[in-house]
């Protein structure tokens, strides 16, 4: 190994250590007692406290497993909603001909410039008018918009991908008697798998880590998702719950990590074939 390669390897190791340090610190802190968390600055605990995990899991009147279930349900339904609605919207923009198509596509892209926090107040008023906020099914404000192609980023991603599919395939399908729906079903849908996988992965990760929107719309403890439930460990009377909070925070990272590892190859493939590569 020459000096140049050794230098690159050293830089990579240093950067890897910087990136992984917060995770390693969280692992160590999840096994510390409250006294050691406040006084011990080392990464690893001097006195291991595995009870943080059992205490955190049963800390509330509702098991933390219920919060995990709520997060999984919301994340999976969001994946289904984004995949279906954004694929249909992208097919219309990329393949169908209708009046002012470019204008509406530009309007959709323009919504990417709006911060989501700007829209939360009018959305809340609208959903409250529909009696969805605090209703019998509190997840409607979180899920219904996902089935209406409101995620412009995923629509754009799929449009870019579909523009790379030769139009000759559409013409051949039409010659064989396919309608626009038939072209979508038999040509576009099978070839859009990489873009769909990319949409599914990002939708799952972003929804699982979402905190603000879930905090706004969910009010009952039994309906909380994992990110919202984690905030309950810290209040004016819960200083001793810092250890269980770190333990549950670490467990909350596991589903995202496993999801990413399982679909890492498909994610890279989808990005490389969706027009987003550099």
For position 195, which CATH number holds? 1.10.3720.10
275: confidence class by pLDDT, cuts 50, 70, 90: very low
Are 207 and 88 in the same domain? yes
Residue 215 lies in a domain: yes
User: So what's the pLDDT on residue 140?
Assistant: 94
Q: What percent of the chain has pLDDT over 70?
A: 92
Cα–Cα distance for residue pair 191/171, rounded to 1 Å:
16
Are 209 and 267 in the same domain? yes
Q: What is the pLDDT of residues 127-172, one digit of tens each?
A: 999 999 887 889 999 999 999 988 999 999 999 888 888 888 888 8
Residue 68 pLDDT greater than 50, yes or no: yes
User: So what's the pLDDT on residue 124?
Assistant: 93
Mean pLDDT of all residues belonging to the chain: 86
Instruction: Show the tokens assigned to 23.
Output: 């995770």
Q: What is the pLDDT of residues 72-114, one digit of tens each?
A: 999 999 999 999 999 999 999 998 888 898 999 999 988 888 8
User: So what's the pLDDT on residue 227?
Assistant: 92
User: So what's the pLDDT on residue 85?
Assistant: 94
Phi, psi for residue 58 in degrees, rounded to 5: -110, 25
Segment 11-24 shows an average pLDDT of 90
Q: What is the pLDDT of residues 242-269, one digit of tens each?
A: 888 889 999 998 888 888 787 777 666 6
Cα–Cα distance for residue pair 12/162, rounded to 1 Å:
37
Are the C-beta atoms of residues 62 and 222 closer than 8 Å to each other?
yes
Residue 92 lies in a domain: yes
Cα–Cα distance for residue pair 70/75, rounded to 1 Å:
8
Residue 192 pLDDT greater than 50, yes or no: yes
Supply the range of the domain harboring residue 194.
Answer: 63-272
Segment 23-32 shows an average pLDDT of 88
Cα–Cα distance for residue pair 203/211, rounded to 1 Å:
14
| 202 contacts: CB under 8 Å, gap ≥ 6 | 154
Cα–Cα distance for residue pair 15/20, rounded to 1 Å:
9
Are the C-beta atoms of residues 64 and 54 closer than 8 Å to each other?
no
Are 131 and 263 in the same domain? yes
Residue 147 lies in a domain: yes
60: confidence class by pLDDT, cuts 50, 70, 90: confident
User: So what's the pLDDT on residue 153?
Assistant: 92
Are 44 and 157 in the same domain? no
Residue 57 lies in a domain: no
Are 2 and 77 in the same domain? no
Instruction: Show the tokens assigned to 278.
Output: 């550099």
271: confidence class by pLDDT, cuts 50, 70, 90: low
Segment 197-203 shows an average pLDDT of 88
Are 264 and 242 in the same domain? yes
User: So what's the pLDDT on residue 167?
Assistant: 87
Are 223 and 258 in the same domain? yes
Residue 123 lies in a domain: yes
Residue 232 lies in a domain: yes
User: So what's the pLDDT on residue 1?
Assistant: 64
Are 44 and 163 in the same domain? no
Residue 166 lies in a domain: yes
Residue 126 lies in a domain: yes
Are 45 and 81 in the same domain? no
> With 0-12 CB in 10 A as exposed, 13-18 as middle and 19+ as buried, what is 52?
buried
Element (DSSP H or E) covering residue 169: helix 167-175
Are 188 and 234 in the same domain? yes
How many domains in the chain? 2
Residue 239 pLDDT greater than 70, yes or no: no
Residue 274 pLDDT greater than 60, yes or no: no
Are 11 and 137 in the same domain? no
**86: nearest Cα among 37, 144, 159, 5:** 159
Are 43 and 103 in the same domain? no
> With 0-12 CB in 10 A as exposed, 13-18 as middle and 19+ as buried, what is 113?
exposed
CB atoms within 10 A of CB 146: 23
Cα–Cα distance for residue pair 150/165, rounded to 1 Å:
24
Are the C-beta atoms of residues 71 and 225 closer than 8 Å to each other?
yes
Please state the pTM of the whole predicted model: 0.85
């Amino acid at each position: 190994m020459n000096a140049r390669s050794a230098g690159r390897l050293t830089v990579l190791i240093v950067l890897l250590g910087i990136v992984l340090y917060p995770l390693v610190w969280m692992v160590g802190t999840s096994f510390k007692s409250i006294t050691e968390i406040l006084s011990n600055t080392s990464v690893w605990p001097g006195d291991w406290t595995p009870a943080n995990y059992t205490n955190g899991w049963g800390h509330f009147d509702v098991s933390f497993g219920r919060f995990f279930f709520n997060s999984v349900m919301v994340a999976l339904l969001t994946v289904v909603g984004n995949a279906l609605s954004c694929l249909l919207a992208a097919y219309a923009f990329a393949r169908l001909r209708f009046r002012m198509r470019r204008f509406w596509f530009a309007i959709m892209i323009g919504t990417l410039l709006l911060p989501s926090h700007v829209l939360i107040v009018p959305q809340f008023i609208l959903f409250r008018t529909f009696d969805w906020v605090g209703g019998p099914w509190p997840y409607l404000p979180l899920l219904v918009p996902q089935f209406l192609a409101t995620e412009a980023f995923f629509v754009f991603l799929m449009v870019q991908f579909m523009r790379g599919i030769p139009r000759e395939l559409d013409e051949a399908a039409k010659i064989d008697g396919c309608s626009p729906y038939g072209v979508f079903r038999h040509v576009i849908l099978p070839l859009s798998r990489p873009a769909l996988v990319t949409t599914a992965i990002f939708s799952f990760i972003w929804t699982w880590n979402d905190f603000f929107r879930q905090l706004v719309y969910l009010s009952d403890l039994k309906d909380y998702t994992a990110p919202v439930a984690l905030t309950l460990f810290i209040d004016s009377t819960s200083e001793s719950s810092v250890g269980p909070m770190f333990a549950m925070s670490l467990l909350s990272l596991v589903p995202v990590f496993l999801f990413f590892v399982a679909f890492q190859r498909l994610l890279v493939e989808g990005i490389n074939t969706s027009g987003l590569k550099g």
